[in-house]
């Protein structure tokens, strides 16, 4: 189990929960939104609409990460990523990611809003 800490950037409120190792972040998001505990406007839940934008911080923040080609393509179409952006990028809290494409492999701080 890993600890997830969601921080709402609009009002700096936060929410903590746990998630199974290797589960997808969108699964936790769906549950929390359904329970009325989190506001994040996800739609498709399948990684194609680009609605579930988050920013992440974790122990390995600052290292390089390889975006999946599907996530990169969705980000280009729907989330303002430049068309010539590389797949290998620096993983910082400034990098917009899609919760549908994030597998939980460590404690995460997730910035929303």
Residues that bind ligand FES (CB under 6 A): 26, 42-45, 47-52, 98-100
17 vs 96 by CB, closer to ligand FES: 96
Task: Give the nearest distance from C-beta 77 to ligand FES in angstroms.
Answer: 11
Task: Give the nearest distance from C-beta 84 to ligand FES in angstroms.
Answer: 22
77 and 50 Cβ atoms separated by less than 8 Å: yes
User: What distance in Å separates the CA atoms of residue 36 and residue 70, rounded to the nearest whole number?
Assistant: 29
State the burial class of residue 87 (Cβ atoms within 10 Å of its Cβ: 0-12, 13-18, 19+): exposed
Task: Give the nearest distance from C-beta 112 to ligand FES in angstroms.
Answer: 13
């Amino acid at each position: 189990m890993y600890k997830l800490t969601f921080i709402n950037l609009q009002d700096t409120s936060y929410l903590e929960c746990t998630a199974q190792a290797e589960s997808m972040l969108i699964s936790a998001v769906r549950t929390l939104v359904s329970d009325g505990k989190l506001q994040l406007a996800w739609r498709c839940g399948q990684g194609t609409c680009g609605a579930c934008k988050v920013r992440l911080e974790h122990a390995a923040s600052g290292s390089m990460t390889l975006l999946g080609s599907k996530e990169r393509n969705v980000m280009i179409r729907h989330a303002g990523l430049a068309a010539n952006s590389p797949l290998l990028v620096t993983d910082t809290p400034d990098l917009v990611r899609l919760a549908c494409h994030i597998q939980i492999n460590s404690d995460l701080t997730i910035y929303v809003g």
